[in-house]
């Protein structure tokens, strides 16, 4: 088992610790933003604008963020983005403590934090291959991905406790501390800085170059397509409240358990894929987990009782973690270092923007044909997509994550 060796990697340990703390703070702040706006406005419409502002910044700024991740030293770029978000959270805390906070200010903070993330995440992903040997990259992602799920579990729970005891400003101040921890951790990383060719042309030329490179990489395009089949059509979050209250009749407490179950399942899926990558072909894992994700969505939708719904929700998280881990590693290893930021930013539009559009898609369909049929039909799409890719050719089916650095 390679975990002990990977965890003895000083730079990876520092980076991983900083990422976990920063993610917990960010997830807590996002939950606090939602609660804070609803507390101020008593309007679910205005609360929903938080997600809209997130998607706005993500879709339009991700390509630019990817270009900068290839032009600048990635560690320094991460420090700048983390410090920027630190200041945004500090401003929220000060305004809240002073009693002059307004809903529009919270929405602007969401826009600014997501804008920073659009530069942060491509650099964050592209930095990982410089921290660990190429043979350990899948295992590194298998450790980082559950960190995100742990953050989803801990961050909002922490926010609820702090809001109940001290108000939203306490969450924002904790977020300030988490960003500071990441900035300090990055300062102590020992990372070689490769020469960048991206600076020799304009940012717009960098963006076009990234899309042009991706256009001729059918493997990565197919991976993005499989990702979108899950995100656009298996978007369970939009119909989960209706399934919990109107179909299963379990109320808010049952809804909370169903909402948390995918994160718990993702922890299991990450542990499973960590072991599977040593014995199974990567392509089989991707295709199998993608199809299983669709099946889990159908189980959740059609569940006759709460227990089966929980199993479906756990399966969604587990299978999502399995195919996401392989895809993240594949995207990083197939792209040369000089292109990783731009390729990652394009992939980020699908992996993070896809769920937002999927919620709109399945939510709208659920309003017409009901949540059960909407998610059931949506679950069929990843199954068909995986079957189609598997039968159309051997590119994905026979794919194995490489153990070496790609040529630039």
Q: pLDDT (tens digit, 9 = 90+) per residue, 352-397? A: 777 767 777 777 788 788 889 999 999 999 999 999 988 887 888 8
**For position 407, what pLDDT does the model report?**
47
State the pLDDT confidence band at 1, using cuts at 50, 70 and 90.
Answer: very low
Strongest mean pLDDT among 12-16, 22-26, 156-160, 215-219? 22-26
Buried b / exposed e along 251-286 (16+ C-beta atoms within 10 A)? eeebbebbbbbbbbbbbbbbbbbbebbeeeebbbbb
As a whole number, mean pLDDT of residues 12-39 equals 81
State the pLDDT confidence band at 337, using cuts at 50, 70 and 90.
Answer: low
pLDDT at 197 over 60: no
Nearest by Cα to 364 from 199, 235, 211, 227: 235
**For position 173, what pLDDT does the model report?**
95
**Per-residue model confidence as pLDDT tens digits over 101-134:** 999 999 999 889 988 887 777 777 777 777 776 6
**For position 247, what pLDDT does the model report?**
87
Distant-in-sequence, close-in-space partners of 147: CB < 8 Å, separation ≥ 6: 16, 19, 20, 23
- Asked if residue 353 lies in contact with residue 58, where contact means CB atoms within 8 angstroms, the answer is yes
**For position 200, what pLDDT does the model report?**
52
**For position 2, what pLDDT does the model report?**
45
Strongest mean pLDDT among 247-261, 295-309, 341-355, 388-402? 295-309
Mean pLDDT of the chain: 79
**For position 252, what pLDDT does the model report?**
60
As a whole number, mean pLDDT of residues 150-173 equals 82
**For position 408, what pLDDT does the model report?**
46
**Per-residue model confidence as pLDDT tens digits over 280-329:** 788 888 899 999 999 999 999 999 999 999 999 999 999 998 888 888 77
As a whole number, mean pLDDT of residues 77-95 equals 92
């Amino acid at each position: 088992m390679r975990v002990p060796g990977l965890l003895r990697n000083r730079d990876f340990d520092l980076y991983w610790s900083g990422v976990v703390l920063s993610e917990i703070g960010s997830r807590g702040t996002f939950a606090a933003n939602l609660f804070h706006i609803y507390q101020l406005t008593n309007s679910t419409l205005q609360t929903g604008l938080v997600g809209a502002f997130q998607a706005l910044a993500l879709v339009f700024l991700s390509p630019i963020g990817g270009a900068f991740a290839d032009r600048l030293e990635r560690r320094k770029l991460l420090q700048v983005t983390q410090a920027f978000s630190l200041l945004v959270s500090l401003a929220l805390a000060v305004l809240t403590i002073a009693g002059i906070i307004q809903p529009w200010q919270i929405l602007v903070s969401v826009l600014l934090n997501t804008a920073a993330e659009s530069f942060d995440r491509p650099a964050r992903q592209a930095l990982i291959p410089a921290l660990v040997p190429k043979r350990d990259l899948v295992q590194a992602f298998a450790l980082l991905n559950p960190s995100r799920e742990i953050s989803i579990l801990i961050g909002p729970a922490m926010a609820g406790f702090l809001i109940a005891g001290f108000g939203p400003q306490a969450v924002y101040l904790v977020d300030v501390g988490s960003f500071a921890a990441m900035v300090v951790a990055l300062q102590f990383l020992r990372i070689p800085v490769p020469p960048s060719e991206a600076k020799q042309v304009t940012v717009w030329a960098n963006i076009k170059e990234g899309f042009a490179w991706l256009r001729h990489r059918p493997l990565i395009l197919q991976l993005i397509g499989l990702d979108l089949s899950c995100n656009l059509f298996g978007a369970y979050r939009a119909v989960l409240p209706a399934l919990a209250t109107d179909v299963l009749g379990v109320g808010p407490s049952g809804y909370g358990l169903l909402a948390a179950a995918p994160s718990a399942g993702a922890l299991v899926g990450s542990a499973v894929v960590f072991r599977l990558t040593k014995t199974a072909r990567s392509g089989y894992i991707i295709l199998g987990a993608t199809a299983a994700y669709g099946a889990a969505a159908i189980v959740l939708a059609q569940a006759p009782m709460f227990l089966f719904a929980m199993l479906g929700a756990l399966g969604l998280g587990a299978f999502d973690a399995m195919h996401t881990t392989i895809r993240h590693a594949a995207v990083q290893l197939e792209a040369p270092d000089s292109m990783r930021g731009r390729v990652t930013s394009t992939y980020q539009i699908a992996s993070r923007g896809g769920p937002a559009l999927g919620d709109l898609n399945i939510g709208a369909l659920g309003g017409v044909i009901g949540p059960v049929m909407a998610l059931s039909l949506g679950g069929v799409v990843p199954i068909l997509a995986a079957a189609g890719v598997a039968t159309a050719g051997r590119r994905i089916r026979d794919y194995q994550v490489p153990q070496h650095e790609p040529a630039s």
